[in-house]
Structure 1
Amino acid sequence: MMSFNAPARAGAGHPVSRSGARKAATLAFAAQGVCVAAVYTTVPAVTEHLRLPPLLTTTLMVAVALMAGGGSFLGLAAIRRAGPLATMRGAVLTAVAALVLIGWAPGEATAIGAYILFGLAVGALDVGVNTQAAAIERAYGRSVFGSFYTAWSVGGVVAALLTAGAARLDWPVATGLSVQAGIVLLLAICLRAYALPDSSGRSSDAVAQPPLGRHLWIRLVPFGLALLVVYVVDSTVSAWSAVYLRQTLAASLTVAPLAYAAYQAGTVVGRAATDRLVQRFGAVAVVRAAALLAAGALTAMAAARGWPVAVLAAGTVGLGASVLAPLCLASAARLRPAASEAVLARLNLFNYVGVITGGAVGGLLGSTGQFRLAYAAPAALAVLLLAAARHFTQQRPGLAVDDEGTRRCRTA
């Protein structure tokens, strides 16, 4: 029998290592977090640098979400052709190019093209990382989805603080985005290919493609609606919190990104605790508590009279909302484990509808001076998650597979 230090080799030439695959997926999630935060937290700076009209800024954020929806299906096709890791690596490199283009865009046309390219890249990356995360969770036999989203949030915090630091040092937006693109590139270089052992001890490099019945859409509806609400909340805070602090609460360009940083810091704490909370209290109870916490924090953010309260409230929103997306995706992936990439690509449609809705409504309300209403409305929607909570499931205790392909009993 081989040791953990000498993993078996997969048919495609990749070492079979459950822990190695988990590390690679963690790096990819972190890269995605940096990318998204870099784009959202620099919206005020890019808008002022290029003198973009508010309506065009809103349109660009909506376009990013629309392109991400299409990018998720491009990612699905790429996964079936080249596998999740190659898809993740290609998407990350494309996102790096888009970040540089956004920063150095000489005018509106180049900026529009760069944002569209970024949307396609982040959509493909999204389905790639979540497909890999679902497969890894099955290999572990217990809830591990939350740990991946913790890495996503850590990447977001780092990028947001870099944006704030760059503004403090009076760096041009191009310099700040180039530094963030360099971090993403470094993470992409560190990605390594590992195959996952399946329950029979064989490697699982190939992606299964069983047919999906139409009734799967019906089973996805509760998760889709929940994910839609989650991303309405997420996009409203992520895309517009910096602008909200800048325009409504008169914060400086140095302070404006701090709401996003606090939001992502809250998600780090929430997601780091997600897997343990699920194992102790169950997915349903965790989802209900998180929804109530997010609703209360959004209300506080809408009522904030100064930026310190808004930053604190944004962090609390992150604490509550952070657990919802990974648990939703993990539960949906268990509907059809052998075809999780196709299930998650379908579910991503709800994701991006939520992003579009939150981004567009938040931007339109903000452009008319009603940013407070943009945060009060998602607070009401968050309460609706209480009804959807009963559909959430968690990884059942059972046989997990170690790095050698050996089956062993796993208890939650």
Structure 2
Amino acid sequence: MQISRARAATAAAFLTQGMVLLSLTTRLPDFQDQWHLSDVEISLILLMMILLAGAGSVVAETLAKRRDSALLLRVGLLVVAVSVAALCLAPSAAVYVAGVGAYGLGLGVVDASTNMQAVAIEHRYERPILPSFHGAWTLGGVFGAGLTFAMSHLPLEAAAVVAVVPLVVAFAPFLPRDHGPTELASKVAVPWRPIVLVGVAMVLFYMVDTAVQTWSPLFLEHEFDTPKRYFSLAALAYLLVSGAVRLAGDRLVARFGAVLVLRVGAVIGSAALAVVVFSPTWQVAVVGFAVLGGGVAVVAPLSFSAAAKIAGGDFAPAVRQARVDAVIARFNQFNYVGALLGSVMTGLVGAGSLRIGFAVPMVLVLGIVPLAAAFAPTVTSTVSARQPSAS
């Protein structure tokens, strides 16, 4: 019963993370207008947020050696709740920027600790369930984008209502760690080299994913005569198709294997971005974003599953979970490298035209094709995970 409740709680945390992030990014045109920010200034604010998210993930990695991921997740969710309320109700641009920075820090802690919880629960179930957790994140993103769509006629301050959700979820029954002897749980050797190839693939995914979440509303606004209430549709379409594919992800991978699924998805993703880049109307662009969501949907959950396997081994439960938590937190850094490429580089390269900005991930996402082989389970990965340290 405890594991079922923990699974539901962790799914709720994933859903909350997606909902909050998308409710904010699909509001970027509104924040930009309210504080009179240029595309370059928005890019720099996003850069700050992502760097602080990376710092939050580093904090999570450090604390995970001695503290529960459940505790880290609660703290991260509370930071997100306070910061979202602050940036939505900000009386000045400076307070808005400070709120975004605090949100970035909480984002990093929550990103790392939700995945720590997910891989620990997956280990208890002894079967793949990561795609469904990431599907919950996507469902939350759909709710967030839909909320923006529904509230587009309301004042920007009304968006602060989403802060209530992480505040409530912070008190959910997350999975506690079996600590065991303290001296064993605190001595965690984190392997690094074996996860680099998988990590690079995740960088490419988050480059695409963050570009869509951050810049697709502005793409519809700047490149077409799109009605304001439809700015969030690109991200919403991307998330809907991505969520559907993630829900079917376990069966797809079981039938065709991770390598083939990833390679076909990368090619589909590149073709979909070509549709976006050369789209003649905003409706065609939305279709391109939707197909893109289906192409790249399972890269992230398969990446975290692979990283968890690298951290595994025949260890006592307390040591194994401490190893997995620390590896997942460090592996999560690839998320932010991709986010930097997706949000900042897309904005800077596309300062003159976001069509050019989206042309960059259109080419780079094809890098997943050769990297997909790293997702096939090998004996080497297991052996490497047992080494004292490879960092």
Q: Same fold (TM over 0.5)?
A: yes
**Is residue 329 of structure 2 the alignment partner of residue 345 of structure 1?**
yes
Letter in 2 for 1:187: V
Name the CA shift for 1:316/1:395 in 2 (closer, same or farther; >3 Å).
Answer: farther
Residue 99 of structure 1: CA displacement? Answer: 1.1
Match of 1:286 among 261, 266, 286: 261
**Is residue 28 of structure 2 the alignment partner of residue 43 of structure 1?**
yes
What secondary structure, in the 3-state scheme, does the structure 2 residue paired with 1:318 have?
helix
Question: 2:27 and 2:66 mapped to 1: Cα distance?
Answer: 35
Residue 225 of structure 1: CA displacement? Answer: 0.9
1:354 corresponding residue in structure 2: 338
Match of 2:372 among 382, 389, 407: 389
Question: 1:172 and 1:55 mapped to 2: Cα distance?
Answer: 25
Question: 1:98 and 1:178 mapped to 2: Cα distance?
Answer: 10
Question: 1:220 and 1:86 mapped to 2: Cα distance?
Answer: 26
1:80-95 superposed matches below 5 A = 80-95=65-80
The superposition leaves residues 62-116 of structure 1 with CA deviations (integer Å, 9 ceiling, x where unpaired) of 1111111001012223434431112112111211111111111122211111111
User: Does the 8 A contact of 1:31 with 1:155 survive in 2?
Assistant: yes
1:366-377 superposed matches below 5 A = 366-368=350-352, 370-377=353-360
Match of 1:234 among 175, 199, 209: 209
Question: 1:85 and 1:211 mapped to 2: Cα distance?
Answer: 18
1:11-410 superposed matches below 5 A = 17-167=2-152, 170-175=153-158, 177-189=159-171, 191-195=172-176, 208-212=185-189, 216-337=191-312, 338=320, 339-368=323-352, 370-393=353-376
Residue 365 of structure 1: CA displacement? Answer: 2.8
Question: 1:192 and 1:114 mapped to 2: Cα distance?
Answer: 28
User: Does the 8 A contact of 1:67 with 1:116 survive in 2?
Assistant: yes
**Which of 359-368 and 297-306 deviates more?**
359-368
Question: 1:373 and 1:233 mapped to 2: Cα distance?
Answer: 14
Which runs of no fewer than 5 residues in structure 2 stay unpaired? Answer: 313-319, 380-391
The superposition leaves residues 343-393 of structure 1 with CA deviations (integer Å, 9 ceiling, x where unpaired) of 12222222211111221111113322x211222221211111111111114
Residue 311 of structure 1: CA displacement? Answer: 1.2
Letter in 2 for 1:334: K
Residue 144 of structure 1: CA displacement? Answer: 0.5
User: Does the 8 A contact of 2:128 with 2:250 survive in 1?
Assistant: yes
Question: 2:209 and 2:39 mapped to 1: Cα distance?
Answer: 20
User: Does the 8 A contact of 2:351 with 2:357 survive in 1?
Assistant: no
TM-score under structure 1 normalisation? Answer: 0.85
Question: 1:262 and 1:224 mapped to 2: Cα distance?
Answer: 26
Question: 2:155 and 2:181 mapped to 1: Cα distance?
Answer: 44
What secondary structure, in the 3-state scheme, does the structure 2 residue paired with 1:308 have?
helix
The superposition leaves residues 100-156 of structure 1 with CA deviations (integer Å, 9 ceiling, x where unpaired) of 111111222111111110110010001101111111111111110000001000000
Question: 1:284 and 1:47 mapped to 2: Cα distance?
Answer: 41
Residue 395 of structure 1: CA displacement? Answer: 11
Name the CA shift for 1:274/1:227 in 2 (closer, same or farther; >3 Å).
Answer: same
**Which of 338-347 and 41-50 deviates more?**
338-347
Letter in 1 for 2:277: A
Question: 2:241 and 2:179 mapped to 1: Cα distance?
Answer: 37
The superposition leaves residues 173-224 of structure 1 with CA deviations (integer Å, 9 ceiling, x where unpaired) of 111x2122223333334x114447xxxxx788989444426xx322121012
Letter in 2 for 1:188: A
Letter in 1 for 2:298: V
Question: 1:311 and 1:186 mapped to 2: Cα distance?
Answer: 33
The size of the alignment, in residue pairs, is 369
Question: 1:184 and 1:160 mapped to 2: Cα distance?
Answer: 17
Report % sequence identity: 31
Question: 1:107 and 1:223 mapped to 2: Cα distance?
Answer: 42
Which runs of no fewer than 5 residues in structure 1 stay unpaired? Answer: 5-16, 197-201, 397-412
Letter in 2 for 1:270: V
User: Does the 8 A contact of 2:238 with 2:289 survive in 1?
Assistant: yes
2:387 corresponding residue in structure 1: none
